[in-house]
Chain A
Amino acid sequence: MKRRHFVKINLLGSTSLLLFGIGCTSENDHIDYVLTTPTNLSKILNNKSIEDIGKKYLKNNPSENNYAVLKKKLLKNIDVLDHDSNFIIKSLGKKIKLDYENENICVVDGWILSETEVRQCALNHLK
Chain B
Amino acid sequence: MHIDARKLENGSIIEGDICIVGAGISGISLALEWLNSEQKVILLEGGGFEYDDKVQELYNGKNTGYNYFPLKATRLHQFGGTSALWAGACSPIDEFDFKKRDWIPHSGWPISKMDLDKYYVKAHEILDLGPFNYELDYWLKKDPSFSTLPLNNNVFWNKIWQFSPPTRFSKKYKNTIENSSNIYLYTYANVVNLTSNKSIDRIQDITIKNYTGNTHTVRAKQFILACGAIQNSRLLLASNKQVKNGLGNQNDLVGRFFMEHIEFPSGELWFTKEQSMNLYHSNKLTHTSTELALKENIQSKYQILNGTISFSPLRNMKVGKSKIQNLDSEIDKQKKINLQETLVDRFKHKFLKFKTDQIKNIQKAYQLYIRMEQAPNPNSRILLSKEKDSLGVPYANLNWELTSLEKKSLRKIIEILGLQIGISDIGRVKLSEYLSSNSNHELNGGFHHMGTTRMSDNPKNGVVDRNCKVFGIENLFVAGSACFPTAGAPNPTLTIVALSLRLSDYIKNLEK
Contacts and interface: CB of A to CB of B under 8 A. Distances in A.
Tell me whether A and B are bound partners: yes
Contact of A112 (B329, B431, B433): B431
A42 B433 contact: no
Interface in B210-263: none
Given A97-B422, A107-B436, A110-B432, A40 B323 contact: no
B interface, over-half SS? mixed
A44 B425 contact: no
Nearest to A26: B337
B458 interface: no
Interface in A64-92: 84-86, 89-90
Contact of A46 (B321, B331, B415, B425): B321
B8 interface: no
B336 interface: yes
B333 A100 contact: no
Contacts of A84: 333
B294 to A, nearest CB: 15
A99 B326 CA distance: 22
Contacts of B267: 110
Interface string A20-50: 0000000000100010010111111111000
Contacts of B420: 100
B418 A105 contact: yes
Contacts of B429: 111-112
Given A111-B430, A112-B419, A44 B322 contact: yes
A105 B419 contact: yes
Given A105-B418, A112-B419, A43 B432 contact: no
B272 interface: yes
Contact of B423 (A41, A46, A100): A100
A72 B169 CA distance: 68
A29 to B, nearest CB: 10
B188 interface: no
B39 interface: no
A92 B21 CA distance: 65
Contact of B431 (A86, A96, A101, A107): A107
Nearest 5 A/B pairs, CB to CB = A112-B418, A100-B422, A42-B325, A110-B436, A110-B431
18 contacts: A37-B325, A40-B272, A40-B428, A43-B324, A43-B325, A44-B319, A85-B336, A86-B331, A103-B419, A105-B415, A105-B419, A107-B415, A109-B436, A110-B432, A111-B429, A112-B422, A113-B422, A113-B428
Interface of A: 30, 34, 37, 39-47, 84-86, 89-90, 93, 96-97, 99-101, 103, 105, 107, 109-114
Interface of B: 267, 270, 272, 318-319, 321-327, 329, 331, 333, 336, 414-415, 418-420, 422-423, 425, 427-433, 435-436
